[in-house]
Each structure stands twice: as structure tokens, then as C-alpha cells.
Amino acid sequence: MNSRLIESDSPYLDPLVAATYHAITASAQFAYPARELVRQLAVARGARALDVGCGTGVVRDALAQAIGSGHVVGIDPSIAMLRAGSSNGALVAGTVPRLPFDRGVFDIVAASFVLSHVADPDAALADMARVCKVNGRIGITAWGTLPNPVGAVWKEIAATVASADELGSAFRRVIPSEDRLASGEGLQDLFGAAGLGLISIAALEYTISLSLEDFVTVKAASLERTLLRVMFDANGWTRFTRDVTEALRRRFGSRIEYVRDFSVATGTRTAD
């Protein structure tokens, strides 16, 4: 694991988190936005594409389907995520900013739910623009602000061991730019500052549907788990998981369904 590349409390460095992400989280939460991102980027067959923060590969897979696997490169700082995921495309360990590619190499540069993890998203988007060809396309996704009643139940129970402020500030340490990217204005501002021609911002919603067991497994392999881990011994964590599972079953039954909103912002590199 190369913890030099990424905040050491990033959950994605943990092979168990990466395995759960690949087995459950990616298809339940990230595959639909990935397909939308690739659709809105209108990639041409044979284009060269870079998937920044590729994780276990949902965007790589959608890109490979649109243009052919041999034309796709995925980069992520977590070796665990790269190892756990799909085999589509060439894989590189590294971060944005500081992408290890020359200027103007790719026709398409995508990053799905990644720039929120970066302290300086302006520098990140400018670096994505640097490696993109003139007239090439750059696209990102970011979560919106719809309230999440399921997450709220989990947070209510978590608040019995850590205050909302403590959890909020720990969350912002690992995902520092989520708030800025959650609005259309924030995204417009980001693309403008990188000197990109903005093509569009699409605000979309979809329903996430998981069995209660899978939802709890996903939460147990999430950032929140990483943040709470320090506050529990093994028994405490087992008790916490049981309390959350019971509260969720009482409120939602054995299937967890909720609507999430996200934006797809696409732009083009207009000049050298």
C-alpha cells in the first residue's frame, strides 16, 4: 500500500474496503453515474481515455465498452482498489494533481466522485486539462445535496459515540471539497477557473436499492467506519452494527432504497 500518495485515513487503502467496494458498492452506487458520465462525454470509438481516481473500475469498464479496452488508462493512488477491480485498461498508481503523463495525450479525461477527495480541486482540474488534447473532453461527477434518510439513521446512532461535529470534521479531512462541488455554481466556477469551455452540467437522480445486509456491509467498509474505528473495541463495533441494523430494519424493512442526486459536468479544452 502506498500511503505516501493519499491521506493515510483514506478507507480506500484497506484491501477489505476495496473488496467490498468492488463486490457491492460499485455496482449499487457508482456504476450508474459512471455510465452517465461516459454517455455525456460522447466518446468516439478508438479515442484515448484516462480515468482519474478509477477505483475498482466502473468508469474504465464503461469507457472500454464505448471505445475498446486497449485505449483506456486508469490511475488511482490505492493499490488495493486497483488490485480488487476490473482488468479493463492499463493501470497506473498515482494522483491528481501530478498526473504522470505528458501534455495533450488523451482525448477524454474523466474523474467520477474523485475531486471531492482533493484539497485543491482547481489544481486537479487544471492538471486533467493539461493531459487532455485541445478539443478533447473532460468530465467529472459529484454528489448533490438531497437529504438521505437512511444515512441519517446511521448518523443518529453514530452520534451516541461521536458528536456530529467530530464526525463532520473528520469527514471533511478526507473529503475536503465535497461541499464546493455539490452545487451547479460550484462546478461552473471550477470549470471556469481551469479555463475550460463548459459543455454542460446535468443534475440527475437515481434510486439506490440494497438488501439491509449489503447496506450494513457497505457502511462497515466506508469512510464513516474508518472514522469510527478509533472509538470502538471489537465488541463495541459489533454492538454498534447490531443497533444500526435493528434501527434500519424497524424504519425501512429488509430492503434499503433511497434516492441520491449527482451532477455530471463536462467541458472541453479549448486552447494550449
Ligand X SMILES: C[S@@+](CC[C@H](N)C(=O)[O-])C[C@H]1O[C@@H](n2cnc3c(N)ncnc32)[C@H](O)[C@@H]1O
In the complex, the residues that contact ligand X under the rule CB under 6 A are 6, 12, 26, 30, 34, 52-55, 58-59, 76-78, 81, 95-96, 112-114, 117-118
Letter for the amino acid at 75? Answer: I
Whichever of 201 and 240 has its CB closer to ligand X, that residue is 201
148, 160, 164, 146: which is closest to 252 by C-alpha?
A: 148
Whichever of 3 and 169 has its CB closer to ligand X, that residue is 3
* Whole-number Å distance between alpha carbons of 104 and 125: 14
* Minimum separation from the CB atom of position 231 to ligand X (A): 23
* Minimum separation from the CB atom of position 160 to ligand X (A): 27
* Minimum separation from the CB atom of position 20 to ligand X (A): 12
Whichever of 214 and 247 has its CB closer to ligand X, that residue is 214
Q: Where are the beta strands (DSSP E) in the chain?
A: 49-52, 72-76, 90-93, 106-112, 132-143, 197-211, 255-268
Please give the residue whose beta carbon sits closest to ligand X in the complex. Answer: 55
* Minimum separation from the CB atom of position 224 to ligand X (A): 13
Whichever of 37 and 216 has its CB closer to ligand X, that residue is 37
* Cα separation of the two ends of the chain: 36
| Residue 151 vs residues 19, 108, 125, 157: alpha-carbon distances, Å | 22, 34, 29, 10
* Minimum separation from the CB atom of position 240 to ligand X (A): 23
Whichever of 34 and 240 has its CB closer to ligand X, that residue is 34
Nine-digit cell string for 46: 478508438
